[in-house]
Structure 1
């Protein structure tokens, strides 16, 4: 029982820690253009809480150069990066954890083309603020859903008497539930990207329809 309580406490502590994620606000970003070293230093200082391990790299010169080379990021102006550059780098940092580089480019291109360098009816920092506020507003409901999944996975094997077996299977079930959530959301994002580009989609619903059609033959 003590092991189970310890495990549950660890999960709850982990979930609560998600409420303390550091978000870079537009006000945090200097209103002056920055050189490469200043950009990497800024990101390291402001996104340190998102590291998994202490020696993880947030952003390196090589990464930034590759983003520019692959047209994810507009070229710097006289080796200096603007506030708009910084905001795009923040998006890239989070997207690259679960999306392919080509998908990130397809997501950011329309926004960059419309609003970079003060073009369009909205400023890039205003758009970023809107998105951060949406995320924060949705944070509590997301955390409640994670807690619900944790409780369900704990109950799934409550009949087992061996605590090691119970903990192992409960954690595995919890990971699978969270992984399915990630897969579903990633698939939706990829289909949204493909839809924007007019690509042919191989959706779950079409696969299901094809399977049913084959069964009926």
Structure 2
């Protein structure tokens, strides 16, 4: 548990694809994959994990999670959407991501919106989230240590790590469940009917 700060440093929590890093020219699929691999490669759990693959991109296109491409090239707007998908897929199903991004995709198809300001707001919030998360992690570590001290078998190996893992997964589930309910509300708005 004393290595939490080291773990947080290794995760690259601040890593985001900024607007300045997104080319203003359209890219072929291999270039898109390379851009994402270069940007997020260090935050992978292991070497086998892929940041983005041709299959993933094709599935996003077929599933209409991203608006149609032109001439086998991906625009700046596609890259912004793929960056959002990359973050969202850690907690939401592809179906929920499609619902979440549906209105943005429709505006982009009609060329009615500028996604840049939305994406910059998202980046601003994620930067704040990282700071809040680090402060919360410090508090969680202290709480877990206090709970382990109170336990009868508190000197068992890895008990603090197991308790921390369970706590973090629980918090993750709470956030994910709220996000899913917000997606469900978007579906209700779109369909005009309440679900049970």
Q: TM-score, normalised by structure 1?
A: 0.80
For residues 109 and 116 of structure 1, the distance between their equivalents in structure 2, rounded to whole angstroms, comes to: 11
Q: Is the deviation greater in 153-162 or in 65-74?
A: 153-162
Task: Name the structure where helix makes up a greater proportion of residues.
Answer: 1
Q: Per the alignment, do residues 78 and 154 of structure 1 end up closer, same or farther by CA in structure 2, a change over 3 Å counting?
A: same
Question: What's the offset of the Cα at 1:118?
Answer: 3.9
2:60 counterpart SS class? helix
8 A contact 1:84–1:116 mirrored in 2: no
What residue is the counterpart of 2:174 in the other structure? 184
8 A contact 2:80–2:119 mirrored in 1: yes
| Counterpart among 30, 34, 37 of residue 44 in structure 1 | 37
Q: Relative contact order: is structure 1 or structure 2 higher (C-alpha 8 Å, sep ≥ 6)?
A: 2
For residues 10 and 109 of structure 2, the distance between their equivalents in structure 1, rounded to whole angstroms, comes to: 34
| Mapped pair 1:102 → 2:86 | no
Please list the CA deviations of residues 72-91 of structure 1 after superposition, one character each: whole Å capped at 9, or x if unmatched: 11221011110001111111
2:50 counterpart SS class? coil
2:184 counterpart SS class? helix
Q: Per the alignment, do residues 84 and 116 of structure 1 end up closer, same or farther by CA in structure 2, a change over 3 Å counting?
A: farther
User: Which ranges of structure 1 fall in alignment gaps of 5 or more residues?
Assistant: 1-6, 202-217
Residues 172-211 of structure 1 aligned to structure 2 (within 5 Å):
172-198=162-188, 199-201=194-196
Please list the CA deviations of residues 118-147 of structure 1 after superposition, one character each: whole Å capped at 9, or x if unmatched: 413xx2122111110111123222211111
Residues 1-217 of structure 1 aligned to structure 2 (within 5 Å):
7-8=1-2, 10-18=3-11, 21-115=14-108, 118-120=111-113, 123-158=114-149, 165=156, 167-198=157-188, 199-201=194-196
Please list the CA deviations of residues 21-54 of structure 1 after superposition, one character each: whole Å capped at 9, or x if unmatched: 3211011011000111111111111111221112
Q: Per the alignment, do residues 141 and 21 of structure 1 end up closer, same or farther by CA in structure 2, a change over 3 Å counting?
A: closer
For residues 98 and 136 of structure 2, the distance between their equivalents in structure 1, rounded to whole angstroms, comes to: 30
Question: What's the offset of the Cα at 1:16?
Answer: 3.9
Higher-Rg structure is: 1
For residues 24 and 16 of structure 2, the distance between their equivalents in structure 1, rounded to whole angstroms, comes to: 18
Question: What's the offset of the Cα at 1:111?
Answer: 1.6
For residues 36 and 190 of structure 1, the distance between their equivalents in structure 2, rounded to whole angstroms, comes to: 30
8 A contact 2:10–2:43 mirrored in 1: no
